[in-house]
Amino acid sequence: MTRLLILLAFSLPLTAQAIEILRWERMPLAVPLLVDQERVVFIDRNVRIGVPVELNGKLRVQSTGGAIYLRASEVIEPSRLQLQDADTGALILLDIAATQAHKGQPVLEPVRIVEGENTPKRYGTADAVARVDDRQEDETVAKPARETPVPVVLTRYAAQNLFAPLRTVEPLNSIGRVNLRRDLPLSSMLPSLPVHTRALAAWRLEDFWVTAVRLRNTSASTLALDPRTLQGDFVTATFQHPDLGPAGQPSDTTVVYLVTRGHGLAESLLPAISKFDAALNLPAPDAGGRHEK
């Protein structure tokens, strides 16, 4: 009986397979592929996958249940994939390249991505430590784990809400819509450019606000947009486009996303300076003190 059990044990299929462990420490991870062989990447996150357009038709990418399935149908030059955490916005970069398999070359083992020892768990946030009055005990007040800076999260969210299809907008429960005066005076924001400005919408996350402002060129010239020309107390400023086309062209309008901290856009603008009354801009009198009629 013992001999029979031993023979049965050795006759069972060996389904166990080694898994390559890759540690994410903010350096791109190399994941080589073989043509017409599927390779699985395990990651304990809910991620969206960014694939370069030049890989369309060359690389099949599927994702489900924390596993990503990569299969190359032809040789692929070194390319980069972006895995974005749907909860925090954090990115993980994969450098892939597909080559033809040699005769007798073993199948590539699956890959598991884990957090590296030196990877910070917070990015752009810190844990606040509060002091209890009488007991003098430290109480840690944990802020949401976020590896992407809040201004970046807000700007991306605002742009998606204004221009992306609704089904593609990243769901973030912590972001709230803020009431905004549509007639907010914005003449002091870009005083050096001939543009018409109008506030569109605003959102808030933690102690930051983002306000989307529409810019429309009123001149016949192309205007280059430079954040350094903006006047006000802004944390960040991001233009949807780098310039404005001449008035009347489809490119004469764009949006700038202004992120402020501690308050909204109205409190971040500089006071408007009134123009001199044209009636006071009189020509200097002549030497005799007479004025022409």
Taking only the tens place, the pLDDT of each residue in 28-62 is 899 999 999 999 999 887 888 889 989 999 999 99
Last residue of a domain, one of 70, 88, 115: 115
Q: Are residues 103 and 175 in the same domain?
A: no
- The enclosing H or E element of 62 equals strand 59-64
Q: Are residues 155 and 226 in the same domain?
A: yes
Lowest-confidence segment of 124-128, 245-249, 278-282 by average pLDDT:
124-128
Estimate to the nearest angstrom the gap between the alpha carbon of 105 and the chain centroid: 40
**How confident is the model at residue 27, as a pLDDT?**
87
In a domain, residue 145? The reply is no
Percent of the chain with pLDDT over 90: 38
Q: Report how far apart, in Å, the C-alpha atoms of 69 and of each of 31, 63, 110, 267, 290 are.
A: 12, 6, 10, 49, 90
Percent of the chain with pLDDT over 70: 73
In a domain, residue 202? The reply is yes
Q: Are residues 102 and 185 in the same domain?
A: no
Per-residue confidence at 139, pLDDT binned at 50, 70, 90? Answer: very low
In a domain, residue 33? The reply is yes
In a domain, residue 51? The reply is yes
Per-residue confidence at 64, pLDDT binned at 50, 70, 90? Answer: confident
Q: Are residues 101 and 210 in the same domain?
A: no
Q: Above 80 in pLDDT, residue 275?
A: no
Q: Are residues 167 and 258 in the same domain?
A: yes
Structural domain range at position 166: 150-268
Per-residue confidence at 161, pLDDT binned at 50, 70, 90? Answer: confident
pLDDT digits (tens, 9 = 90+) for 73-119: 999 999 999 888 777 778 889 999 999 988 888 889 999 998 876 54
In a domain, residue 170? The reply is yes
In a domain, residue 48? The reply is yes
Q: Are residues 62 and 165 in the same domain?
A: no
Q: Are residues 264 and 159 in the same domain?
A: yes
Average pLDDT over residues 134-161: 67
Q: Report how far apart, in Å, the C-alpha atoms of 80 and of each of 35, 83, 140, 162, 216 are.
A: 17, 10, 39, 28, 37
Amino acid identity at 172: L
Q: Are residues 108 and 162 in the same domain?
A: no
Q: Above 70 in pLDDT, residue 278?
A: no
Lowest-confidence segment of 3-17, 32-46, 156-170, 270-284 by average pLDDT:
3-17
* Residue 198 DSSP SS3: strand
Distance from C-alpha of 266 to C-alpha of 113, rounded to nearest angstrom? 45
Average pLDDT over residues 15-33: 82
Q: Are residues 171 and 263 in the same domain?
A: yes
Q: Are residues 163 and 249 in the same domain?
A: yes
Average pLDDT over residues 177-197: 88
Q: Above 70 in pLDDT, residue 232?
A: yes
> In terms of Cα–Cα distance, which of 160, 36, 144, 156 is closest to 98?
36
Average pLDDT over residues 252-274: 86
Mean of the per-residue pLDDT values of the chain:
78
**How confident is the model at residue 287, as a pLDDT?**
43
Per-residue confidence at 271, pLDDT binned at 50, 70, 90? Answer: confident
**How confident is the model at residue 258, as a pLDDT?**
95
Q: Are residues 209 and 254 in the same domain?
A: yes
Residue 52, domain CATH: 2.60.40.1080
In a domain, residue 54? The reply is yes
Q: Are residues 159 and 226 in the same domain?
A: yes
**How confident is the model at residue 166, as a pLDDT?**
64
Per-residue confidence at 285, pLDDT binned at 50, 70, 90? Answer: very low
Domain count, the chain: 2
In a domain, residue 85? The reply is yes
- Strands 176-178 and 47-50: what pairing? unpaired
Q: In what order do the strands lie in the sheet with 47-50?
A: 29-34, 91-99, 76-85, 47-50
- Strands 111-115 and 20-24: what pairing? parallel
